Amino acid sequence: MTGYWPHFYLLVLVAVIWLLELRYYKLIHHIEEHILITIIASIMLVSFGQVIARYGFNTGWSAALEFNTIMFSWLILFGMSYGIKTNLHLGVDIVLRALPKRLEKVFSLFGALCVILYGMLLLDSVWLRGLGFDVSGGALEYWSKFYKFGIGVDELRYPVWAQDLFGMQNRVHKWLVLLALPIGLALLVLRGTQAFVDIATGKRAALISAHEAEDLVKENKNILAD
């Protein structure tokens, strides 16, 4: 897969997710949540299983550390866009809150724009050539190289039955492991764009959530009285 085909497929994927969200928001939201829950649960299960296997039976899974490292990177890459979508990222907004409302909105929009540019830059920096910068590379190019050469990871292996049935190589393809990198960054750009639009239209104040304690107090101030 060379040229701009990875860009096209990624664009189609993001467009499909966006269109499905417009029609089935709750379903897509639950799927996204369950993916993150599955990743966290798999890390916990493998870690717990390793402790039991090592100290109880003097054995273990040689690929456990690599598996957990991969899953943790997936959690970060998918979680950062989910955090923007659900306004879970924490931050300090004491300066923003001290500004006039209109100026606060301008800086919040600037923050969302920085997220978009950051995701685009890491995804593929080729677009910077149009601005006069001599740069190349990014997550898509990095992923494409491993897809082209079919290199495997260090420890993870395909099941023996799968190797025999489909004639697969021994080690898990590294491009499969790295697939979370371009998808995660593409989702970051999507969520950043959605946040930019929401801030511009007044649906949310900023990217970060810095006043959850204050909001909880307001929501529950009459509980004791009741």
- What's the CA gap between 127 and 202, in Å, rounded? 30
Specify whether the CB–CB gap between 13 and 35 falls below 8 A.
no
- Could you tell me which of 74, 1, 7, 88 has the C-alpha nearest to residue 38? 74
Residue appearing with tokens 């096209």: 8
Please give the backbone phi and psi of residue 224, each rounded to the nearest 5 degrees, phi first: -65, -35
Predicted confidence at residue 195, as pLDDT, reads 92
pTM of the model: 0.86
Partners of residue 198 on adjacent β-strands:
none
Q: Rounded to an integer, what is the distance from CA 131 to the centroid of its chain?
A: 27
| pLDDT digit string (tens) for the chain, length 226 residues | 556 788 889 999 999 999 999 999 999 999 999 999 999 999 999 999 999 999 988 888 889 999 999 999 999 999 999 999 988 877 777 777 777 888 888 888 998 999 999 999 999 888 777 777 777 788 998 999 999 988 999 899 988 888 888 888 899 999 999 999 999 999 999 999 999 999 999 888 777 765 554 555 566 666 655 5
